Structure 1
Amino acid sequence: MRLLILLLCATLLAACSRGPTPETLQSDLQQRLQQVFPASLLSLDQLQRRGSANDANAPDGEKRLVVYFDATLKVEQDQDFGAWDSPGVASLVTALGAGPRGLSGIQSGGNRAGDLLKVHGSLIYREQQGSWQAVVPQGFTAPRAAQSGEGGNSKRETLVNAISTALNLGPGGTSPQERKAIDDELERALSNIRSRLSRLESGYPLAGGPPAGQYARFAQALTELLKKQGVSVRALNTEGGLDNLRMLRRGEVVAALSQSDAAYAAVHGIGPFQNDGPDLRLRVIANLYPEPVHVLVNAKSELQDIADLRGKRVNIGQPGSASRLTALAVLTAHGLQPKDLAAAAELDLQQALSALRDNQLDALIQVIGAPADSIRAASETVDLRLLPLTEAAISRLQQQHPGSFAFNLPQGTYPQQKDPVATLAVSSMLLTDDQLTVREVENLVRLLFSQDNQWLQYGSIQGAQLSPKNALLDLGVPLHSGAEKALQPEPVPAN
C-alpha cells in the first residue's frame, strides 16, 4: 500500500511539474505584454497556472504543451482598449492566448488607472534540449454561429399569393401602365407588411453573414446583448456584405451589416451595383469597427510586397462578398489584375488558410475585423506574415475607393507580429433604410453604444471596439435621422 501511495504521489508530481515552471510562465507573459504595450501601462498582479495538455496540432517530431493560466492584470494608467489606432483588446487577447470570453474588465469608453482585468489564457510551449520555450499563444476557434433564419420565410410566399389573387380579380380594363403602378405600390406595401410582421413576431431581421464568419458572430453577439435590453433581433445567415445590401434593398431585412466601401457603391449605384442603380433609401446607423485589409503569406516566403504577387496563386475571396470587392481594388492600386496572377482562387478564409499552409496558395487577401479568429488559430500550425500596402497605393485607394481609409494594424494583433503593418481599412457598418422609424433607430443606437455593454462576454472582440467617436467617421452614406439624433451632440443654447 505504501508503495502504491508513493507511486501515486510521484505521478501527481510529474503531472504538476510537466512543462515550464511558474516563474518561466510569468516571465514569458510579462515579456509578451511588454512587446505590445508600454511597460507602464499594464502590470501582472496575480498569476495561477491551471494545468496543461498535449498540443494536438504539434508538428511531427515536436513535443508541445498548451499551458493554461488565470491572471489578473492591473491597468496602471487610463487606456481605451477599444481604440482603433493603437494596441488594444485585439493585441491583448492575442498576446494572452485568450478567447473573447476569456477576458473581462474591459470597459466601453475606456479603462481607468487601477482597474483590474481578469484573464483565462494559454501559451503553447515546445520542449527543446531539456527546457521549455514559449512558441505562440494558443489560437481561438469560435463555434459555428447559430443557423437562425436559414431557409427563407414562408410567410412571404403566402402574402405574394394573396396579392396575386387580388390582382387577378381586378377590373379587366386595367392598362399595363396602371398595373405597373399597382405592382410597384403593392411591392412596397408587401415589404412594409413583412417587416412589421417580422418585428412583431420574430424581432428585427438582420442580414449577418456566412455561418462561420465574423459578421455572423457579431450579429449573434448583438442579438444576445439587445435581448437583455428587451429588443429582439433575428440574425440571418447570408453570403456576405454585397448580398446583405441587396436583401436590404429588396425589403427582406430591416438592417444589414456591410463594409463602408460596399455601402458607398450601393448608394451611388456604381461597381457591383451599377446595374441596380443608386439605392437612394439606404441609410447608415453607425460605423461599428475597422476591417483592415490582410494580405497574408507564409513567413518563410520570399514575397515582400503586393507587387510580388504577380504570377502567384492568390485567394481574392468568395463571389458575393464585400471583401472580394476591396481585394480587387487593392490589386488594381498596385498595378495588378486577376489575369496577372497564376491563379485567382475564390475560397472562404478558412479554406484559404488551409491551402496556404499546404502550399497550394502563395498568398491570400481578406478584409476582416482584427484579430480574425481563423488567422489566430492558423498561426498555431504555420508562421504567417502580413504584407504591407505601399504608401502610394493607399493614397490612390483612398481617392478612388470611397469608404476606405489608411490604417496601421497595431503590433501584436497577431502572433509573431512585432511591428505595425501599413494597410487600408474599411468600416463595418450597420445599415437600414426608411423601414425603421426615427424612434426605433435612436433607441437602437443608444443601446449599441451603452457603456455598460460587455461585448467580450457575448463572444465579440470586434464589439469591444465600438466607440461613439468613430461612429460617424467618414460615412459616405446618408445618416439615418434617428442615429443623428442619438449620436450628434445637442447644440448649446445661446446666452
Structure 2
Amino acid sequence: MRRLLAIALLALLAACSRGPDQASLEADLRQRLEQAFATDSLSLATLQRRGSASDVNAPDGEKRVLIYFDAELRVERDQDFGSWDSPGVASLISALGAGPRGLSGIESGGNQRGDLLRAHGSLIYREQDGAWLAVVPQGFTAPRAPQPSNASSTRESLVLAIGTALNLSPGGTGSTERQIISDELERSLNNIQGRLSRLQHGYPMAGGPQSGQYASFARAMSAGLLEQGMKVQPLTTEGGLDNLRLLRSGEVLLALSQSDAAHFAVSGAGPFEDAGPDRDLRALASLYPEPVHVLVRADSTLRSIADLRGKRISIGLPGSASQHTALAILAAHGLQPGDFAELRRLDLQQALGALRERQLDGLIQVIGSPADNIRAASEAFALRLLPLDGDAISRLQQERPGSFAYQLPRGSYPGQTEPLATLAVSSLLLANQQLTGREVELLVGQLFSLKEQWLQHGSIQGTQLSADNALRGLGVPLHEGAEKALQKLKPPRP
C-alpha cells in the first residue's frame, strides 16, 4: 500500500512539474496583461499554480501542456471593465485564459482602485529546444440551455380578473359611453390574458444558431431572469434576419438582432423590401457591440480587405444579419461576390475549420468580442484581424443606420497588440406591440439588474450591458416601457 501511495505521489508531482517554472509563469502572465491593458491599470497580486495536463488538441509532432492557475489582480486605477470603447472583460478573459465563470470581482458600473479581481485561468505552453514557450490562453465551453419548467393554467386568475373588470362598469350610461367601456374592457382583458399566459408559460425569444453567440447570450439571459421569477425561452433560429421575421409574424415575443438589420426591417428596405416596413418593431435596449471581424491566418500575406480579391472567403450563414453586413462591407471596399475565387456561406465554426485546413483564405463575421469560437481556434493556429478602410467605414455609417466606427480594444484576442479599426453594430433586444408597457418596463429593469450573474451563466457580452449604452446605435423606435425603465436606471444628476 505504501509503495502504491508513493508511486501515486510521484506521478502527481511529475504532472505538476511539467511545463514552465513559477517565475516563467508569472512573467508570461504579466506580459499578457501588459499587452491588453496600460501598465498602470492592473498588477498581479498573487499567483498559485494548480496543476497541468497534456493538450490533446496539440498539432501533430508538437508537445503542449496546459498550466492551470489561480490569480489575484489588483486594480491600480478606477476602470470600467464593461466599457464598449476600452479594454475590459473581453481582454481580461483572453489574457488570463479564463472562462466567464472563472472570473470574479467585476463590478457593474466600474471598479475602483484597490479592488481585487480573482481568476481561475490557464495558459498553453509548447516545448521547443528544451524550453517551454507560451502559446495562447485556453478556451472555454459555453453552458447548456436551461430546461423550461412546466406551465400551469391561467384560467382561475383570468376569471377573477374578468369579474373585477366587470364590476367597474357604471350603470345608467349611454350607448357611446358603454361602447367605450366595452372597447377598453376588451383591450384590457386581452392584455390581462396575454400577460398571465406569458407569466406562466414564459416569453419565447428568437436567439440564433445553437453554437452561435446569440444563443449563448440568450441562455445566460434566460438563466439570470429565471432566478428573478421571469421565464424567457430561447429558441434556435437561423440568425438575426430570421429573428426579425419571426417577431413580425408573432411566432416569438422577443428577438435578438443587429441594429443595422433592425433598421432595414422597420423601414422596409434591403432584405425586407418585399415585406414592407415593420411599423410595430420596437427596441428594448442596446446590449453590446458587435464588431466586424475579418480574419485571415497570421502567416498570410493578406494585409487589407482589398487583398481578398480573387481569394476564397466565407461571409456567414444564409438568413443571418451578419452575412448581409458582410456583403455591405465588401461592397464598401469595391468588392462584389463575383470578385472572389470562391464565396462560401459557412457558420463561424465551419469557416474557422476551413481556414485552419487552408481551404479558405479569409472569413467575415459580425459578432461580439471575444467570440468563443475564435478564441478556441487560436489555440490550434495563429489568426490575424484585418482593419477596415477609413473611407469605407464612413460610407457604411451613412448607408447603414445603427452602425458606427469602432476600435476593437487591444488584447481582445491572443496576439492582438494594437487596437483595430473596424465597424460595429449594436446587438439589440427587440419586441413589438404585443408586450404591454408595464411588461417591458419590468423586463428591462430586471435585465439590467443582472450583474455578476452574466459571468456565472457563461456570457462575457452580458457584462457590457449598461444604462449609459442602452440607446447606442438603436436604429429603431424605443418601446415606451423600455424608456420608462431606462430613465429609472440613469443615475441622478449632481
Residue 108 of structure 1 contacts residue 450 of structure 1 at CA under 8 Å; is this kept in 2?
no
Return closer, same or farther for 1:278/1:416 CA change in 2, 3 Å cut-off: same
**Aligned equivalents of 2:22 and 2:61: distance in 1?**
26
SS at match of 1:123: strand
Q: Give yes or no for the alignment of 1:49 onto 2:49.
A: yes
Residue 256 of structure 1 contacts residue 431 of structure 1 at CA under 8 Å; is this kept in 2?
yes
**Aligned equivalents of 1:35 and 1:445: distance in 2?**
36
RMSD value, Cα: 2.4
Match of residue 92 from structure 1:
92
**Aligned equivalents of 1:489 and 1:396: distance in 2?**
36
Q: Displacement of 1:474 after TM fit?
A: 3.2
Match of residue 29 from structure 2:
29
Match of residue 366 from structure 1:
365
Alignment of structure 1 residues 25-424 onto 2, 5 Å: 25-143=25-143, 145=145, 199-424=198-423
Return closer, same or farther for 1:462/1:452 CA change in 2, 3 Å cut-off: closer
Q: Displacement of 1:421 after TM fit?
A: 0.8
Q: Deviations over 1:409-436 (max 9, x none)?
A: 1111011111111000000000111111
Q: Deviations over 1:41-78 (max 9, x none)?
A: 11111111111000111112211100001111111221
Residue 148 of structure 1 contacts residue 235 of structure 1 at CA under 8 Å; is this kept in 2?
no
Deviates more, 1:192-201 or 1:254-263: 192-201
Match of residue 181 from structure 2:
none
Q: Which one-letter code corresponds to 2:53 in the other structure?
A: A
Q: Which one-letter code corresponds to 1:78 in the other structure?
A: D
**Aligned equivalents of 2:477 and 2:372: distance in 1?**
32
**Aligned equivalents of 1:232 and 1:10: distance in 2?**
51
**Aligned equivalents of 1:491 and 1:213: distance in 2?**
31
Q: Displacement of 1:380 after TM fit?
A: 0.6
Q: Displacement of 1:201 after TM fit?
A: 3.3
SS at match of 1:47: strand
Q: Which one-letter code corresponds to 1:26 in the other structure?
A: E
SS at match of 2:384: strand
**Aligned equivalents of 1:343 and 1:234: distance in 2?**
38
Q: Which one-letter code corresponds to 1:131 in the other structure?
A: A
Residue 198 of structure 1 contacts residue 204 of structure 1 at CA under 8 Å; is this kept in 2?
no
SS at match of 1:329: helix
Residue 144 of structure 1 contacts residue 212 of structure 1 at CA under 8 Å; is this kept in 2?
no
Q: Displacement of 1:214 after TM fit?
A: 0.6
How many pairs are equivalent?
454
SS at match of 2:285: strand
Q: Deviations over 1:162-213 (max 9, x none)?
A: xxxxxxxxxxxxxxxxxxxxxxxxxx99x98996575143211111111111
Residue 82 of structure 1 contacts residue 466 of structure 1 at CA under 8 Å; is this kept in 2?
yes
**Aligned equivalents of 1:134 and 1:91: distance in 2?**
17
Q: Displacement of 1:10 after TM fit?
A: 4.6
Return closer, same or farther for 1:14/1:389 CA change in 2, 3 Å cut-off: same
Q: Displacement of 1:452 after TM fit?
A: 4.2
**Aligned equivalents of 1:56 and 1:332: distance in 2?**
41
**Aligned equivalents of 1:382 and 1:140: distance in 2?**
17
Deviates more, 1:42-51 or 1:405-414: 42-51
**Aligned equivalents of 1:137 and 1:13: distance in 2?**
23
**Aligned equivalents of 2:259 and 2:417: distance in 1?**
29
Residue 351 of structure 2 contacts residue 363 of structure 2 at CA under 8 Å; is this kept in 1?
yes
Q: Displacement of 1:14 after TM fit?
A: 2.6
Q: Displacement of 1:440 after TM fit?
A: 1.0
**Aligned equivalents of 2:274 and 2:37: distance in 1?**
48
Match of residue 450 from structure 1:
449
Alignment of structure 1 residues 462-473 onto 2, 5 Å: 462-473=461-472
Residue 241 of structure 1 contacts residue 257 of structure 1 at CA under 8 Å; is this kept in 2?
yes
Q: Which one-letter code corresponds to 1:300 in the other structure?
A: D
SS at match of 2:462: helix
**Aligned equivalents of 1:448 and 1:99: distance in 2?**
22
Q: Deviations over 1:342-366 (max 9, x none)?
A: 1110111000000000011110000
Q: Displacement of 1:33 after TM fit?
A: 0.5
Match of residue 482 from structure 1:
481
Q: Displacement of 1:400 after TM fit?
A: 0.9
Q: Displacement of 1:489 after TM fit?
A: 6.3
Q: Which one-letter code corresponds to 1:214 in the other structure?
A: Q
Residue 146 of structure 2 contacts residue 223 of structure 2 at CA under 8 Å; is this kept in 1?
no
Residue 195 of structure 1 contacts residue 252 of structure 1 at CA under 8 Å; is this kept in 2?
no
**Aligned equivalents of 1:469 and 1:486: distance in 2?**
13
Residue 210 of structure 1 contacts residue 237 of structure 1 at CA under 8 Å; is this kept in 2?
yes
Q: Displacement of 1:112 after TM fit?
A: 1.5
**Aligned equivalents of 2:427 and 2:451: distance in 1?**
21
Q: Deviations over 1:438-474 (max 9, x none)?
A: 1111111111222645211111000001111110113
Match of residue 439 from structure 2:
440
Q: Deviations over 1:19-46 (max 9, x none)?
A: 1111111111111111111222111111
**Aligned equivalents of 1:147 and 1:393: distance in 2?**
44
Q: Displacement of 1:330 after TM fit?
A: 0.1
Return closer, same or farther for 1:405/1:8 CA change in 2, 3 Å cut-off: closer
Q: Deviations over 1:288-315 (max 9, x none)?
A: 0000000000111111100111111110
Q: Which one-letter code corresponds to 2:134 in the other structure?
A: A
- Percent identical pairs in the alignment equals 68
Match of residue 170 from structure 2:
none
Could you list the runs of 5+ residues in structure 1 that have no partner in the other structure?
150-187
Return closer, same or farther for 1:247/1:196 CA change in 2, 3 Å cut-off: farther
**Aligned equivalents of 1:356 and 1:259: distance in 2?**
25
Return closer, same or farther for 1:473/1:414 CA change in 2, 3 Å cut-off: same
Return closer, same or farther for 1:8/1:141 CA change in 2, 3 Å cut-off: closer
Q: Displacement of 1:96 after TM fit?
A: 0.5
**Aligned equivalents of 2:223 and 2:4: distance in 1?**
52
SS at match of 1:469: helix
**Aligned equivalents of 2:61 and 2:17: distance in 1?**
22
Return closer, same or farther for 1:254/1:26 CA change in 2, 3 Å cut-off: same
Q: Which one-letter code corresponds to 2:105 in the other structure?
A: G
Residue 195 of structure 1 contacts residue 251 of structure 1 at CA under 8 Å; is this kept in 2?
no
Return closer, same or farther for 1:28/1:492 CA change in 2, 3 Å cut-off: closer
Deviates more, 1:38-47 or 1:134-143: 134-143
Residue 199 of structure 2 contacts residue 231 of structure 2 at CA under 8 Å; is this kept in 1?
no
Q: Displacement of 1:144 after TM fit?
A: 5.5
Return closer, same or farther for 1:8/1:348 CA change in 2, 3 Å cut-off: closer
Return closer, same or farther for 1:437/1:446 CA change in 2, 3 Å cut-off: same
SS at match of 1:220: helix
Match of residue 172 from structure 1:
none
Q: Deviations over 1:241-294 (max 9, x none)?
A: 111111111111111100000000000000000000000000000000000000
Deviates more, 1:439-448 or 1:450-459: 450-459
SS at match of 1:141: coil
Q: Displacement of 1:373 after TM fit?
A: 0.2
**Aligned equivalents of 1:92 and 1:388: distance in 2?**
22
Q: Which one-letter code corresponds to 1:83 in the other structure?
A: S
